[in-house]
Structure 1
Amino acid sequence: MTADTELLTVPQVMAHLKVGRSTVYDLIRTRQLASLAVGRARRIPTHALSDYIHRHLDQEAA
């Protein structure tokens, strides 16, 4: 698995963004952050987290 296809857990995304669990699930629910279901668990591809961060940086700069 390459770094681009690595899957992060919700707690890992929480740590990266410095936000709570409900915020991460809200981002997933509103489709601002792409994720996939692996059984009953949610996983977020690293590229989806990077895309989310870059979109918000671009919005802040505008």
Structure 2
Amino acid sequence: MSITEASITTAGPLLLTVEQAAHQLGIGRTTVFALLKSGELESIPLGRLRRIPAECITEYIDRLRAAARENQAA
């Protein structure tokens, strides 16, 4: 097992509910649903459920940081 795999397995769930994603991001459920609807935050269907891969939270934050850097440079 690589270091990356070890950190993933001990870091928490790989698929998050909307509530868990909202908690991780420090925002409300309604905002998470809006982000999902707009496509800014990715989710996957799991039967009748909708789950947000934990890595998509990180990717979303990375995009926000990149956009903030671009705005500061402009």
**The two structures share one fold, judged by TM-score above 0.5:** yes
TM-score using structure 2 length: 0.73
Tell me how large the CA RMSD over aligned residues is.
1.8
In structure 1, the gaps of 5 or more residues are none
Q: Quote the residue 2:32 is aligned against.
A: 24
For residues 9-60 of structure 1, the C-alpha deviation after alignment (integer angstroms, 9 at most, x for no partner) is 1111111111111100110000000101223321001111110000001101
Q: What corresponds to 1:8 in structure 2?
A: 16
Higher RCO, 1 vs 2 (CA within 8 Å, ≥6 residues apart) = 1
Residue 33 of structure 1 corresponds to 41
What fraction of aligned residue pairs are identical, expressed as a percent? 36
Number of positions where the alignment pairs a residue of Structure 1 with one of Structure 2 = 61
Structure 1 letter corresponding to 2:53: P
Paired AA for residue 9 in structure 1: T
Gaps of 5+ in 2: none
* Equivalent-residue separation in structure 2 for 1:48 and 1:17 (angstroms): 11
TM score, norm. by length of structure 1: 0.85
Q: Which has the higher helix share?
A: 2
